[in-house]
Amino acid sequence: MHVIVWEYTVPEAHRDAFERDYGPNGDWVALFRSAPGYIGTELLRDEKIPGRYITIDRWATEADFAAFKKTSGALYEAMDRQFESLTSHEVKTGTFRSVQ
């Protein structure tokens, strides 16, 4: 499994919109669902630090994610620009592979 983890800091005024757009029924998941190899996304809210979130995107393989980016890269980038105003900080924590 290929896993991508992102960390976000979201100002209080944007948290509802962020949770809607990045959550399990949000626009990001809707875009990813169209791709072969997409397994799912989790949106996690920090219990101690207000406004801190993590997303965990799961793909069957790194090649599946690469194929998605090749076919939907322009839409992915457009959505990223559209939603960047919801966060004050965004960092890709890393990409991970399942340990067998």
* Sign of the alpha-carbon dihedral angle for 46, 49, 52, 56: negative
Residue 90 tokens, joined: 């965004």
Q: Per the confidence metrics, is the pTM higher than 0.85?
A: yes
Q: State the CATH class of domain 2-97.
A: alpha beta
* pLDDT tens for each residue of the chain, 100 residues long: 999 999 999 999 999 999 999 999 999 999 999 999 999 999 999 999 999 999 999 999 999 999 999 999 999 999 999 999 999 999 999 999 988 7
Residue 80 tokens, joined: 């990223």
d(CA 70, CA 81): 18
d(CA 15, CA 99): 33
